[in-house]
Amino acid sequence: MNEPFEYIEDYFENRLGTAEKSRFEARCVEDEAFAAQVALYALQRKALRAALVQQKTAAWTEPAHPAVQERAHPATVRPLEPRYPTPPRRLKPRPWLAWAVAASLLLGAAGWWLFRGPASPHQLASAYIDKTYARLSQTMDGSTDSLQQGIAAYNRQEYDKALDLFEGLYKAHPERTDALRYEGIVYLRRKNYDKALETFSELAHTNGLLSNPGLFLQAVTLLRRDAPGDKERAKSMLNMVVQQQLDGAGEAATWLKRF
Amino acid sequence: MGYRQRVACEKIFYQQYSYFIREGCRRFRLSYEDSFSAYSDAVLSAIHNIVSGRFADNASLKTYLFRVFSNKCIDLVRNHSINKQQVNRSVAPPELLDALPDTAKNAVEAMMHRYNEQAILDSLEAVGEKCREVLLYFEDGYSDKEIAERLAYSSAAVAKTTRHRCLEKMRQIMHTAKP
């Protein structure tokens, strides 16, 4: 049985002549038993290689002889040997690195500022609500009707009180559509989007008004809510606002470019 | 170069570039243990190539070692992905088979399923210290003449015959251990 091992080894150690090498290779293909013997030899060599790597690694990473260690570390406390070798630390001072990092950060910030993408319709709607309806304007004539009281409550962020006042006024005087609009705005601020949409829809369907922002406010609410399908509905409403030149047509035209 | 000197030089060489291990983790996303094992394997391959005169002097030792190490890391990554794709194929083909032309290599690889790799490792443990020593010297690139000198065999031919007997002994251990 030694002969095949020797023959196989001769091939892999490149000790065979060209003709014999070709015969060996052909035999691997034609003789299954021989191919199995070659496979076993290769796997044995693989196992030997793994064992050798393990043995060498143990020798290469073993701590120095105690006498050598004592010379290297004369202090009483000797550092523990790591299980694996630790890479040498190379902490050279690199002032150019700090400048390079600073320059990259500046370039990055400038690039972001110059090439940042346009705000989405949702962002535009949110910004519009925050800017326009953070505070409602009051008349300066000192009147104290329900509408003005409601606006004052709104500006103090007493939304429940404001809502009661606007609802009461609109029920008592259905012609006061401004109360209905403010009611919708309160719902919008409180993120009660369904009620806001209901209120603005009622406003949009009110006939005979000189100015009616109902449809535009419905679109604003949909963009702010940003639920599936809201964007498409808002887009079609904004188109109608622009086509019919309703209240908010200017903003609607700008926003439509961002879709 | 004497044996002790060689071992000391190997150790210095190994420790000189051991920071490659972290580089292996970073570049190839290997675990520390895998990168560590690839580095040991690479150092051994580089030493064997230097000793056998296969190290061409057209690159620095560091560049050469890093190239060998990178190839070992790539092999590890590839083996990991093959093992993930082919759960049943647990045996990665030995590098030795790369010497064969494709048709012969495929025929030999097809026979590898007959053997259990763990059983082969176990047989190496069971073969005895003397056999293990002679086999590992050969695997480390020592010639039969050098092995005979180190292990006090009468001649290189005796060392060679002993090696082959040891391989056969491993095969027999595997055969008897087979359930």
Find out whether A12 and B96 touch, Cβ atoms under 8 Å.
Answer: yes
Does the distance separating the beta carbons of A29 and B111 come in below 8 Å? Answer: no
Please tell me which residue of chain B has the smallest CA distance to A31: B107
Taking contacts as CB-CB distances below 8 angstroms, the residues of chain A near B19 are 87-88
- What Å distances lie between residue B23 and A93, A174, B150, CA to CA? 21, 76, 38
Q: Tell me what ipTM this predicted complex has.
A: 0.87
User: Which range among A3-12, A91-100, A203-212 has the greatest average pLDDT?
Assistant: A3-12
Domains of chain A: 2-72 (no CATH), 121-256 (1.25.40.10)
Chain B residues close to A5, C-beta within 8 Å: 164, 167-168
Identity at A41, one-letter amino acid code: Y
> Of the candidates A19, A12, A50, which has an alpha carbon nearest to the alpha carbon of residue B108?
A12
Q: Using CB atoms, pick whichever of B37, B96, B140 lies closest to residue A52.
A: B140
Three-state secondary-structure class, residue A17: coil
φ, ψ for residue A63, nearest 5 deg: -65, 155
**Over 50: is that where the pLDDT of B90 sits?**
no
Rounded to 5°, the CA angle A87-A93-A95 comes to: 135
Inter-residue contact A129 to A220 (CB < 8 Å): yes
Which residue of chain A comes nearest to B4, CA vs CA?
A: A59
Q: What proportion of chain B, given as a percentage, has pLDDT over 70?
A: 91
Instruction: Phi first, then psi: give them for residue B16, nearest 5 degrees.
Output: -60, -40
Residue B40: which residues within 8 A CB-CB, separation 6 or more? A53, A56, A57, A60, B14
Contacts of A39 in chain B (CB under 8 A): 108-109, 111-112, 114-115
Nearest to A35 among B21, B93, B108 (CB): B108
- pLDDT digit string (tens) for A59-84? 888 776 555 544 444 444 343 444 45
Average pLDDT over residues A49-60: 90
Do B22 and A47 lie within an 8 Å CB cutoff?
no
Q: How far is CA A106 from CA A97, A100, A109, A112, B89, in A?
A: 14, 10, 5, 10, 52
Q: Which residues of chain B lie closer than 8 angstroms to A88, CB-CB?
A: 19
Question: Nearest residue of B to residue A88 by CA position?
Answer: B19
A6 vs B164: CB contact, 8 Å cut-off?
A: yes
By C-alpha distance, the chain A residue nearest B160 is: A6
**Secondary structure of chain B in the HEC alphabet?**
CCHHHHHHHHHHHHHHCCCHHHHHHHHHCCCHHHHHHHHHHHHHHHHHHHHCCCCCCCCCHHHHHHHHHHHHHHHHHHHHHHHHHCCCCCCCCCHHHHHCCHHHHHHHHHHHHHCCHHHHHHHHHHCCHHHHHHHHHHHCCCCHHHHHHHHCCCCHHHHHHHHHHHHHHHHHHHHHHCC
Chain A residues within an 8 Å CB radius of B175: none
Percent of chain A scoring above 90 in pLDDT: 38
pLDDT at A121 over 70: yes
A6 interaction partners in chain B (CB closer than 8 Å): 160, 164
Residue-range domain boundaries for chain B = 3-90, 117-177
For the cut 60, the answer to whether the pLDDT of residue B111 exceeds it is yes
Task: Report d(CA A213, CA A200) in Å as an integer.
Answer: 8
Task: Look at A50 and B104 and tell me if their CB atoms are within 8 Å.
Answer: no
> In Å, how far is B63's CA from the nearest CA of chain A?
17
Residue in this structure with the two tokens 């019919």, named with its chain if needed: A244
pLDDT tens string A82-112: 445 555 555 566 778 888 988 989 998 887 7
Reading the block at residue A152, the tokens are: 């004052």
Predicted confidence band of residue B69 (pLDDT cuts 50, 70, 90): very high
What is the model's pLDDT at position A2? 53
Measured distance CA(A214)–CA(A240) in Å, rounded:
12
Please state the rounded mean pLDDT for residues A200-226.
Answer: 89
